[in-house]
Each structure stands twice: as structure tokens, then as C-alpha cells.
Amino acid sequence: MPSVLGADVGGTKIAVGPVDPFGTQLAPPIVDPSRTEDTESFLTGLETTLRRAMAQFADYAPRAVGLACAGTVDSDRGVVVTSPNLPLREVSLAAPLRETFGIPVILENDANAALLGESVAGVAQGLRHVIMLTLGTGVGGALLLDGRLYRGVGGAAGELGHTVVQMGGLPCRCGMKGCLEMYASGPALARYAGARVRDPERDPGDVLLHLREQGMLSGGAVARLAREGHRGAIEAVQQLAEWLGIGLANLTNTFNPEMIVVGGGVGELGELLLHYARKHLLKNAMAPGKDQVRVTAAELGNKAGLVGAGLAAWDLVRSPSAAPVGGKAAAPGAPAPGPATCAPAADKTAADEPGLEEPASGGPGFEKPAAG
């Protein structure tokens, strides 16, 4: 059976597996750690992993390779312009790998790849106006507008985590203040939970306090406690949901989408988070958009980037000029939906880490702007 290889290239690991033209992952992926000490080591490790995948999945006859990579990506040139967690800056990936392996190679931004996966093989099948938010260590995003992935003039569109929701708010690593990323990410969830330590009603048994003292108070840990019914953790999720709801309202008012898909580690909270976020969307967004949009959890989970990268590679195999996205892919050789040319979100979906900022209580309207 012919296939392509989809590769999800992250700061901690590289996962590679065969994907069919309908977005089905045909076998469990090869997973190797990323070598991020320097650019040369990273490139050597990526090539080694792909060689291993070519050999292991030879029976699937790979015809192309799709790479999903975090950061600002110029898909037309196959270049990673900059990446938050990889030693890549103006580094060409597609052309050297194409020369090495002798088959087409395409480079995608990881959040765009995840949205492509969801639009063809996941929760957003058949839709033409979809936004994706990935909530993890940061907040990434991707835009499907009128059936096409939108990348902007330089490939940097979709940085939805760096839309400002609090003027003069917490400083973000991007250099701005008050970004959505500072209020709706894994570290933010940890920060909200940390504000509830030493409160016997909100932190019975000092569970949150002990986690913080051990350096283990992460977004993932808070999410697990929330699922178990821990009051302080649930309140922290609700606080994050208020800020997320403001972000969702802004996106709804700006783009009038059919669906907003929420993924990433924090997004895996599902209805525990989205139930409250929708309420704040409805409170802050305008009609008719707020009544038309559906807010739902991602369906493909951590394989979305790999599947989306594979689908981008299939588009490259079928035709150098991409067709619009929307609905299921067609069989090889038939016209099929795919990225507008191919696509660049940032996945900032890495494992959540404890926040570094001082704990803050309250939600929108309660958190005071940072000085300056």
C-alpha cells in the first residue's frame, strides 16, 4: 500500500509514521528524542530518524515526507525561519532532505498541520471556516479560512496566543504584555492553582502545596487533580476558562468561524474547560457569530501533527498546486482537499511546565496589570 511519512518534529521528540491519503496512520510511529544542543546535531538526528523510518516502513512504499515543525515556517522555501524550542533559525529543511532521500519533502508549521489533520480526518471534517487553538506550554493557533490554510505574507499568521487580552498585563516571552498565552496556557493553570495553596477549603490535604514544594505543580498535574474533583484545581480551570473565553470571543468576532477546535495538553480537559469557556464566549462575543460557532475539543490528540504533515505530503504527491481544504481526502491520483499550497501553530503543545510568574488570583477583571 503506498503511503507518505508524516513527521511531528518537536523540541523533545520526533515521531514519524506512515499515513494514507485519507489521514489514517497506518502503523505505530517511530519516536526518537530530539537532539537540540545545536543545529548540526539536530539535523543529523532528524536525518537518522527518517532513515530508520524509511527502512522500518518500507512495506508501505513511502512516496513523500511531510514535516510538522513548531515555529515560524516558510513552506514555499521549506525553511524554518525561527523556532521557540529548536536550534533552527533560517534553516532549510525540505531541500536537503529531498536531496538525501530522493522523494518530495514538504515543511509545515505544526499547528497548521494539526488543523489540517482535524479538517480532513478529525472533528472538523467538511468545514471551511475553522480556527485551532493549542493550549500547552504556550498557546498556538492556526486558521482555515474559506477552505484554505492561511499563513500570511511571511508564514507567521496564526500566532493567536500573542493576541493581547489584558492591556499592560503579564510580560510574555515574545516581548509584549498581556498575551493570551500568559493567561490560557499550562503555566497559567499552574499559577492559578498555586494561588490557592494553604487554603484548607480549596486545597484539602495541602496537595497543591506539596506539589509546588516539590517543583511538580505543572499544568498537567493541575489538570489531573481537576479531573479527580480537587476544588482548587477545578477553580483554577474555571479561571483559565474565563481568559480562554475572551480569546474565543475575539476570534469569533474577527473571523466568524464555523468551529474553533481546542487542542494541546490543557485542551485535553475537554468539557471540564470548554463548558465554562463557552459561557464567557457567549457573554463577550457578538451575534450572529457567537450563535454560529461551535467550540469543541480536538479529536486526533497527539497524532494530529503527524497526520497533518502526512496529508500535506499527499497534497505534494498529487499536485504541486494545492487544492482547498474541506472534507475528506481523495484516493491517490484523484483531486483532493489539501493545504492551499501547503501550510505553516505553532504547536506549542509541549508538556506543561510550572509557571514562573508570581501566583495571581481572580480571572478577567481581577488580575492587575503588571507595572510599566
HEC string of 200-246 equals: CCCCHHHHHHHHHHCCCCCHHHHHHHHHCCCHHHHHHHHHHHHHHHH
Most distant pair of Cα atoms in the chain: their distance: 63
The arithmetic mean of pLDDT across residues 118-136, rounded, is: 95
Nearest-angstrom CA–CA distance, 87 and 108: 17
Beta bridge partners of 109: 69
What's the rounded Cα separation, in Å, for the pair 102 and 222? 46
Residue 126 has pLDDT above 50, yes or no: yes
The CATH code for residues 3-120+300-318 is 3.30.420.40
Which strands, in side-by-side order, build the sheet including 79-82?
Answer: 72-74, 79-82, 89-92
CB count within 10 Å of CB 96 equals: 15
**pTM score of the predicted model:** 0.80
Residue 1 pLDDT? 76
pLDDT tens sequence across 131-160: 999 998 889 899 999 999 999 988 889 999
pLDDT for res 368: 38
Residue 239 has pLDDT above 70, yes or no: yes
Over the range 141-152, which residues count as b (16 or more CB within 10 Å of their CB) and which as e?
bbbbbebbbbbe
β pairing state of 72-74 and 294-297? unpaired
Categorize the per-residue pLDDT at 174 as very low, low, confident or very high, splitting at 50, 70 and 90: confident
Q: Are 118 and 304 in contact (CB under 8 A)?
A: yes
Same topology, domains 3-120+300-318 and 127-297? Answer is yes
- Given this model, what pLDDT does residue 320 score? 56
Nearest to 264 by CA among 230, 223, 226: 223
Asked whether the predicted pLDDT for residue 328 surpasses 50, the reply is no
Say yes or no to pLDDT of 331 above 60. no
- The structural domains of the chain, with segments of one domain joined by +, span 3-120+300-318, 127-297
Residue 259 confidence (pLDDT) above 80: yes
Bridge partner residues of 13 (DSSP): 33
Reference 302, options 50, 29, 2, 20; nearest CA is: 29
Segment 332-344, tens digit of pLDDT = 333 343 343 333 3
Second-level CATH architecture of 127-297: 2-Layer Sandwich (3.30)
